[in-house]
């Protein structure tokens, strides 16, 4: 179960990054700035969640 979860999370991150790289250049600067900030928040939350899951699985 743990391996499938981690694979799913990694796949989602890669797909999301790829979609973002395609869409982001077409947006105005204000929207780009908001999306970058939201991305940093999401990455931080994902890291925290990963740490929590990793500690539970030990």
Per residue in 4-39, pLDDT (tens digit) is 877 887 888 888 888 877 877 777 888 878 888 988
Q: Is 27 helix (H, G, I), strand (E, B) or coil?
A: coil
Q: Phi-psi region for residue 45, left (φ > 0), alpha (ψ -120 to 50) or beta? A: alpha
54 touches 5 (CB < 8 A): no
Is 14 inside any structural domain? yes
DSSP summary character for residue 3: H
Residue 51 token pair: 């740490």
- What is the domain range of residue 45? 9-57
pTM value > 0.85:
no
pLDDT at site 20? 79
Is 24 inside any structural domain? yes
Handedness of CA 5, 49, 16, 21 (dihedral sign): negative
9 touches 46 (CB < 8 A): yes
Give how many domains the chain has, as a whole number: 1
């Amino acid at each position: 179960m743990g391996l499938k979860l981690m694979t799913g999370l990694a796949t989602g991150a890669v797909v999301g990054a790829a979609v973002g790289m395609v869409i982001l250049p077409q947006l105005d600067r204000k929207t780009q700035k908001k999306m970058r900030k939201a991305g940093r928040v999401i990455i931080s939350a994902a890291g925290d969640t990963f740490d929590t899951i990793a500690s539970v699985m030990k």
